[in-house]
Each structure stands twice: as structure tokens, then as C-alpha cells.
Chain A
Amino acid sequence: SQKIEQNSEALNIQEGKTATLTCNYTNYSPAYLQWYRQDPGRGPVFLLLIRENEKEKRKERLKVTFDTTLKQSLFHITASQPADSATYLCALPQSGGSYIPTFGRGTSLIVHP
């Protein structure tokens, strides 16, 4: 089955800098990939979805890229703010015909003022 890899170490950056988070997958290229934000004790909040035929997607300060050759998605937050501190999860469908996404472990982002 598909293995999803996100950096388990927290990413610490200074306010105003660009945060870049990585999601790697191991097997087949999924039809789409999603990014979510999760705050402690709360449900995930959907941020962006990128499809396999899209190289890049933007939404305000957020940008997602999808490289099917590298089997990787990058998630960027520009002009980061302390309020962006959270865990960011990527999700993509498993193989076997299911389109239900499976979540990666997530990467914790800490933005320091």
C-alpha cells in the first residue's frame, strides 16, 4: 500500500519567512493530494487540493506543488505568522481503487515572533 512520509521533526522558523513542508509518497501517483491544518485537540481543516495534472496551486499565502516524478508535494506558507503554528497533514488516496484519502503523520510548524 501507499506509504506517506512527512518530516516528523518540528519545523521552527522566524515570522515573515517562508515555511516549506514536504510530503513524499512511495508507490503509484495519486489522482489528487490534499493538505490540511490541525490545531491541538481540534479537527483538521482543509486547505488545498491539487490534482495529478496540476503542477502548482495557490491560495492567498499558501502554495502547493505536485511533482509526480519525484513523488513529492511541497507546501509553502509565505510571510509566515505565529498564527500559522499548527500541524500540517497531507492526505492522498490509497491504491486498490479506493479514492478515500489516507493521512500522513503531519509536520508541526512553529513560527516564532
Chain B
Amino acid sequence: DTEVTQTPKHLVMGMTNKKSLKCEQHMGHRAMYWYKQKAKKPPELMFVYSYEKLSINESVPSRFSPECPNSSLLNLHLHALQPEDSALYLCASSQSEGMNTEAFFGQGTRLTVV
């Protein structure tokens, strides 16, 4: 299994809602990532988990809260988002932190904040 699975594929939420994005991989990778991608822009790193511990937070606002319950799962909890947070949210994994080996991305969650 060489897949990173993200759910849901699409999400529409109001500014007062709380929702979660989920990411799962069963490749035994020990590093997992969250990226945000706006239209016509490159993916931008948000968070890195290494061995289930948060190792990098790229100064992301606290309305985004990551969680890594175990080595296969990565969640992104969303609360009080703004319309400008609408984007494609991508999860990725690699054997170890740094992506100096093959990295795998999920298909993303298209988030719309209304």
C-alpha cells in the first residue's frame, strides 16, 4: 500500500464551525506533513510530525491545530476559520523527516470557508 488517504475530499464550513481533516498512511513512514495550497501557488508547509511529535510549526495561526494520534494517522483540527483559509490542504508522508527520500502526497481536501 503506497497511498496517503485524506478525508474528506471536499469540505464547506462556516466561520463558527469546528471540523477536522484526516490523513492516513500504512507505509510505516515516520514523518507526516500538512501543506496548504492556494490556486496557482506552490504548496506551503504548515506542520511536520516526526515520530508522532510535532517538530515544525511554520508560524501557523492557532485556529489550525494538528494532532498525530499514532504513527499512521494525522489530523488537522479547524476552528473559527476565515474565508482566506479556503484552499487545498495536502497531507504527505516520508520515511523520515526531511523528504530526502521519496515523499507521498494525498489527494488533498478542498476546503471552502463561508
A interface with B by C-beta (< 8 Å):
31-32, 34, 36, 41-46, 49, 89, 91, 93, 98-106
Contact = CB atoms under 8 A, between A and B. Distances in A.
A32 B33 CA distance: 19
Nearest to B58: A100
Nearest to B100: A32
A89 B105 CA distance: 13
B50 to A, nearest CB: 10
B108 interface: yes
Contacts of A91: 99
Nearest to A48: B102
Contacts of A43: 4, 6, 90, 92, 105-108
Given A34-B103, A43-B108, A103 B42 contact: yes
Interface residues of B, number: 26
A57 B6 CA distance: 31
29 contacts: A32-B100, A34-B103, A41-B108, A41-B110, A42-B107, A42-B108, A43-B90, A43-B92, A43-B106, A43-B108, A44-B90, A44-B105, A46-B102, A46-B104, A49-B100, A49-B101, A49-B102, A89-B42, A89-B43, A98-B98, A99-B97, A99-B98, A100-B33, A100-B98, A100-B99, A102-B42, A103-B42, A104-B42, A105-B42
A44 B107 contact: no
B56 interface: yes
A32 to B, nearest CB: 5
A13 B99 CA distance: 31
